[in-house]
Amino acid sequence: MKQQQAASGRGTVSHSSECDMPTAHGCFRMHVFAEAGSGREHVALVMGDLGGEPAPLCRVHSECLTGEVLGSLRCDCGSQLDDALARIAALGRGILIYLRQEGRGIGLTEKIRAYALQDQGLDTVEANERLGFDADLRNYRPAVDILAWFGLPQVRLMTNNPSKLSALRAEGVEVVNREPIIADPTAHNEAYLRTKRDRMGHLFDPLDGGED
């Protein structure tokens, strides 16, 4: 598959390095992209040939140190990441884009401050707003440019988040299918999942695992 530069004149990322990355789900090709301006380093994990039909399975996933490294049960991020890699590996073909934007874009320090406010009874949205932030500050432009670098105008996107879906489509990515990615709720994250559904419009029911 021919790899391309990000969209001319507006690309936010440049490819910096790559290697084979063996994981519990099989061997991926890991690509690192540097984001202009911020200096953030984003990652794409690729398995198989992404060209041809049907459009490849894709997950655009934002960093969550607490859920993915420390195994926190306050969110579903670690479970979603693991599930996405497993589903790509099962097909032998797909791409996971890992964006370095912790805490929906507010960073680790502010995320932990938001957690402390949630311990006092605020929900996810209320905590971010109390700290002076919007509910979600994530930017999906780097993901769009990474897809462009790989020459991928179409994807089958694993997401429950309509805002992510709209953001990619608004930037010209054709999402030919949305595939739910639903983790089992726990006693620690049930309220968090309800907030994602009821206040942020995520397209799943955290209580029974079924789509709305």
For residues 43 and 53, the answer to whether their CB atoms sit within 8 Å is no
8-state DSSP, 37: T
Is 124 assigned to a binding site?
A: yes
Residue 63, marked binder: yes
**Which of the 8 DSSP states describes residue 184?**
P
Would the annotation count 104 as a binding residue? yes
Residue 60 labeled ligand binder: yes
Active site residue 76: no
Nearest 5°: the CA angle 101, 178, 127 is: 35
C-alpha span between 205 and 193 (Å, rounded): 8
120 is in an annotated binding site: no
Is 138 in the active site?
A: yes
Number of C-beta neighbours around residue 77 at 10 A: 19
Report whether 159 belongs to an annotated binding site: yes
Question: 135's torsion region: left (phi>0), alpha (psi -120 to 50) or beta?
Answer: alpha
Residue 102, annotated ligand binder? yes
- Torsion angle in degrees (nearest 10) through CA of 71, 181, 94, 51: -160
Q: Which residue has the tokens 């934002």?
A: 62
**Any known ligand binding at 80?**
yes
Integer Rg of the chain from CA: 17
82 exposure class (CB count in 10 Å sphere: 0-12, 13-18, 19+): middle
Catalytic residue among 40, 83, 87, 136: 136
155 is in an annotated binding site: no
Q: Is 186 annotated as a binding residue?
A: no
Residue 12 marked as a ligand binder = no
Binding residues for Zn(2+): 64, 75, 77
Active site residues: 136, 138
Binding residues: 59-64, 75, 77, 80, 102-104, 124, 159, 164
Binding residues for GTP: 59-63, 80, 102-104, 124, 159, 164
